[in-house]
Structure 1
Amino acid sequence: MAESAQYEELVRQFSAFGAVKREMNRLMPSDCPSGSAAVLTVLGRDGDMRMSRLAELLSVDMSVTSRHVAHLAERGWIERSPDPADKRSRILRLTPAGRTRLDELFRLTTQLLAERLCDWSDEEVGRLTQLMARLRSSFGDPRTVPRQAPSALEPTTRTPAST
């Protein structure tokens, strides 16, 4: 198990990683903020789904998901259809225009990463990818594990770096 100092440095690196995410978000087109891009990404990766599943995969509240979905539907990038199994629910799916927009977003972010990591070896980029996937798995990847709300009796702790 790692030393306490290593975990402290990891917390500092997570805080610094926010700058990387902000730069990636800045290159998003003004009509597609990062939350909307995340919805497109999940639908592109996982296919058609109910809004409740989308909220779970994004790890955000249903009201936040609903706002992003409305934004994308207004632009014609996703469509909402009645769920045949439950007419009260909607199935979300990418439209061809949404697929085109998603492809553009991937091109932009891939280009940024290629520019910033141009002095990294293929092995280093692969290792970072593996470690990030493992980290996500250690925290319970919502794509494979249903997210459970913390018990009201369990204390929650926040460090300044995580708020």
Structure 2
Amino acid sequence: MEKVCGWYNMRYGKIYEIKQFDENNLKSVLSLIDRNKLEDSKTSKIEFINVPTKISIDHLGNNYVGYRVCLSINQKRGTHYIGYRNHFFLINDNKVSLHLYDAGILTIPFEYCVSRNSEKELYVDDIPDNDKEISIGQMDNIKLTSKEEIKFKKLETEL
């Protein structure tokens, strides 16, 4: 970041232009992550929490700018998975400039991975009551709208 006339010119750097994830985009982002830091990269399961977005954060007295990518990673230790842990990556010029992850007592601040939108906030008392009672059994009975798609058929058989 360079100071220009009292203002900071933030350089977010470049990242692959990603509007929605597909297999190629996932591999592009994953290529930036040091797989050696994973205990077993061949069996690790990864869930992308968000699409890369520009962010500027202050962390431990340093300012970081770039694109944030948050992942939830489940790694195997021995023969069992240890459970999903959140990882925050800040990418600038296709390099990871900051990597934070949940490690027991220390957790990633929620705001690092999600942008708040005050327009979507509701007061609990403003949520209308549902006059129709629904049993737990009815909640579990899910009807899918697009049964023609293979992924929906697979999901329906799993339910």
Higher relative contact order (CA 8 A, sep 6+): 1
User: Which has the larger helix fraction?
Assistant: 1
Settle same-fold status: TM greater than 0.5: no
If the length of structure 1 is used for normalisation, what is the TM-score? 0.26
If the length of structure 2 is used for normalisation, what is the TM-score? 0.26
Larger radius of gyration: 2
